[in-house]
Chain A
Amino acid sequence: MPTADFVTGLKCRVCGKLYPKSPSNYCPDDWGPLEVAYDYDRARGAISREKIARRPRTMWRYRELLPLDGEPTVGPQVGGTPLIRADRLADALGIERLWIKNDAVNFPTLSFKDRVVSVALSKAREFGMRTVGCASTGNLANSVAALSASAGLETFILVPADLERTKIYGTAVYGAKVIGVTGTYDEVNRLCSQIADKYKWGMVNVNLRAFYAEGSKSMGFEIAEDLGWRFPQHVVCPMAGGALIGKIHKAFTELHAVGLVDAPVTTKMYGAQAAGCNPITDCVKANRERHKPVRKPNTICKSLAIGDPADGYFAAKLIRETGGWAEDVTDEEIVEGMLLLARTEGVFAETAGGTTVAVTKKLLDQGRLPRDEEIVICVTGNGLKTQDAVFDALDAPAVIKPSLAEFERLAGVAAEPALA
């Protein structure tokens, strides 16, 4: 099969200058972020709904809009997660039409990060890199470790030393070198940038970031296709570095640009953060042009605890321009959101999912989100990784003897009268 490469290069989001494809994430002129640019006119002729429908249900069915030179060599099965019609949660929130994009069951490591990592590591191999790594709040660590193990790459993973144990062991199990750094995520990230600059390894969210971030678009492609090739009116998305919300919107824009969806994009984008680390929501709510970094994030939602988000400016700008809004919620509200989602839809999301559900509720209560229009909530990670967050909110299971009478007493069911 001929390869489908419609990438024209890496374009600076500040000055617009176009650079050839390379492992670099910023413009050497003004340090602005580089983003993958495509020739949409050419892609338009090569992609169709029918062609996509014939391909396996993975993120790679949209390969013409993903930045690889050839076939994906790492994570070819990633993506294709369900879009769930969430009627019971909709009833609980008092809204008409609600969907959950459930990346809690993404393959292989149960978060949306598998999407970005499969692009980044496939790209790392195209660049001939043998050593890879990342700075992570946990989900990315799991994903880089698993997918690089499957590709036989040497891997260094840097995480804040106080991360959830499940996320640390869920990384080490794959054989990656896991390094706990005493400091915040932003300090880990800064160190990772210094390592990438010095050793030229493939740090997926540093020097491979332009390619990596493109993987998130597949979440948007899947939402639109599963809605019958159309866009929802509202999308609520968790924000850490702030890239995902922008890439979902970019996905919609591209589907229109290549003719897969006729109607232009009018989707309003809403961002969710934790109150204990809310640089982007604060930026939107206080109408600042640029976010104020948070020196010491303090929240149970560690996967969103990025105090100085790289895409904070662009996320806030997008939210404003699309007519959406942003909110943040307390740790208690995050736990309530996790329980509400689990108990209405049977979806156990990690703390970021609880954050997104709780923010949706808050935006509805504020009247920022309408109750009679279609809303998609993005769930990006699995609750099994952050079980400690709900531990205190759950009753310990009752213990009984293996006796029917004891069970009936406990369950409150009337025992049948014994036959005479």
Chain B
Amino acid sequence: MPIKVQVPTPMREQAGGNAEVAVAGATVKAALDDLIRQYPALGPKLFDNGRLRPYVNVFVNDEDVRYLDEMDTKVTDGVIVALIPAVAGG
């Protein structure tokens, strides 16, 4: 089972209409790089000058990567990487 990246609705147009994209890679960074290799239009939405945009939260199996190893967080087959907007709550 590959790594799956979940894409929120407003960005799916740039992901070929997919809610989930299968990717490969050993870290979150590598997985997202593979996502952008497959769907280049997602690149500027996720990254600004090579850095993840501040209002994008990344979760690996429901854990926020900021409490793990950020973009270096290890991922393995079967893991779900969710991209979720930070602007919610309160």
Contacts and interface: CB of A to CB of B under 8 A. Distances in A.
Nearest to B54: A290
Nearest to B90: A241
Contact of A192 (B10, B45, B88): B88
A25 B85 contact: yes
A306 B86 CA distance: 13
B90 A28 contact: no
A30 interface: yes
A25 B90 contact: no
Interface string B53-90: 11111010010101100000000000000101111111
Given A190-B59, A313-B54, A31 B86 contact: yes
Interface string A200-224: 0001011001000100000000000
Classify the interface of chain B: helix, strand, loop or mixed.
mixed
A310 B88 contact: yes
Which residue, B56, B57, B59, B85, has most C-beta atoms of chain A within 10 A? B85
Interface size range on A against B: 35 or more
A193 B85 contact: yes
Interface residues of B, number: 25
A185 B89 contact: yes
Contact of B89 (A26, A295, A306, A313): A306
A194 B82 contact: yes
Interface in A147-198: 185-187, 189-190, 192-194, 196-197
B54 to A, nearest CB: 7
B11 interface: yes
Nearest to A241: B90
A242 B9 contact: no
B88 A135 contact: yes
A310 B90 contact: yes
Nearest to A216: B90
Contact of B87 (A29, A187, A209, A293): A209
B88 A209 contact: yes
A266 B13 CA distance: 45
Interface in B1-44: 8-11, 44
Given A28-B10, A29-B45, A190-B62, 9 more contacts: A26-B85, A30-B55, A31-B53, A32-B87, A135-B88, A186-B89, A189-B88, A192-B88, A196-B88
27 contacts: A14-B55, A24-B10, A26-B87, A28-B10, A28-B11, A30-B48, A30-B55, A31-B45, A31-B55, A31-B87, A32-B55, A135-B89, A185-B89, A186-B89, A192-B88, A194-B84, A205-B88, A205-B90, A209-B87, A240-B90, A241-B89, A290-B54, A308-B64, A308-B86, A309-B89, A310-B86, A313-B54
